[in-house]
Amino acid sequence: MGQCYGKTIPTTENDATTSATTTTMVVSANQNQTPLPPSTPGNGSMPVKNTPGRSSHPSPWPSPYPHGVSASPLPAGVSPSPARASTPRRFFRRPFPPPSPAKHIKASLAKRLGGGKPKESTIPEERGTEPEQSLDKSFGYNKNFGAKYELGKEVGRGHFGHTCSARGKKGELKDQQVAVKIISKAKMTTAISIEDVRREVKILKALSGHKHLVKFCDACEDVNNVYIVMELCEGGELLDRILARGGRYTEEDAKAIVVQILSVVAFCHLQGVVHRDLKPENFLFTSGRDDADMRLIDFGLSDFIRPGSN
């Protein structure tokens, strides 16, 4: 649809004369102007009087489109916005993801550990007002480790310490090969870590009499380390044998392994102990034979439980 309006064109010099020719303009939606034939009194149409239209004379009211209907009303230098159909539609599942707290955590750790840049305006606190309570790293074990055992080469290393082979010098273990787990006291920085070592020795002493548990022999200490003396297993880890066989086990071979694992785990649970670190690396063979027995080791994460508790 378009808009229809009339434009009066004077035909005489005297404006008072009512005789005029009216030309009707039709403005359609496509901005094309189509002039209609002029209407005169002689061609059967009535003259249009007092019809509001666009006159060629200046109007007291400013037109919203001074340069025509097709011109843009925007000021000079401003380009019109692109059409909605030309804008690609993009869908974002999460346009603004929440910030990660990793930066704040790293900054806090750096400030706590002294890695961050110190502020110049910070006033240092006075130390020495209250003496720090030193941790009691005395376990009450034998202190004559060097007189009883002779250390050999390292045979394993874990998160809390390393294990070396050793030979007994005197006593019941004279000239016998044993394994010694060495835990540095320098790594015992909290009371919890000290209690973990005490609990490990206590559990090893309590768990005895099962053929698939590593045998506990002795516990010693000195100023720097704690020494846990155990049975030496020279057959290697279960993980090494699994990798050597490419993970392929017959049903009978797998049965022999699983039965030993379930047997020793059930024994620990009946004694009120959970190992909490069962993995192929913590099962050692007593010798290199294919039918050698396994031993469960490393009770550093184990703990006592009560029946019925989670």
Question: Which amino acid belongs to residue 228?
Answer: I
- Decide: 153 and 162 in contact? Cβ < 8 Å: no
Active site residue 277: yes
In the chain, which residues have pLDDT < 70? 1-109, 111-133, 307-310
What's residue 65's pLDDT? Answer: 58
| pTM (whole model) above 0.75 | no
- Decide: 114 and 124 in contact? Cβ < 8 Å: no
- Decide: 182 and 162 in contact? Cβ < 8 Å: yes
Q: Which of 171, 196, 170, 191 is nearest to 181 (CA)?
A: 196
What's residue 210's pLDDT? Answer: 92
Enter the tokens of residue 227.
Answer: 């020494």
Name all contacts of 287-295 with Cβ < 8 Å and 24+ positions apart. Answer: 287/234, 287/235, 288/234, 288/235, 288/236, 289/235, 291/256, 292/235, 293/211, 293/212, 293/260, 294/212, 294/238, 294/257, 294/260, 294/261, 295/212, 295/213, 295/214, 295/215, 295/231, 295/233
Q: Which domains does the chain have, with CATH numbers?
A: 1-39 (no CATH), 145-304 (1.10.510.10)
Q: What is the pLDDT of residues 64-76, one digit of tens each?
A: 655 555 555 566 6
Helices (H), the chain: 102-113, 145-148, 191-206, 238-244, 251-270
Indicate which residue of 240, 277, 293, 303 is catalytic: 277
What's residue 192's pLDDT? Answer: 92
- Decide: 300 and 160 in contact? Cβ < 8 Å: yes
Cα–Cα distance for residue pair 50/36, rounded to 1 Å: 19
The per-residue DSSP string of 61-108 comes to: SPPS-TT-SSS--SPTT-PPPPPGGGSPP---SSSSPPPPTHHHHHHH
- The strand pair at 216-221 and 225-231 is best described as antiparallel
Q: What are phi and psi of 98, to 5 degrees?
A: -65, 145
Q: What are phi and psi of 24, to 5 degrees?
A: -95, 130
Total Cβ atoms within 10 A of residue 214:
24
What's residue 23's pLDDT? Answer: 46
Enter the tokens of residue 182.
Answer: 């060495």
What's residue 157's pLDDT? Answer: 85
Q: Which of 296, 155, 159, 148 is nearest to 227 (CA)?
A: 148
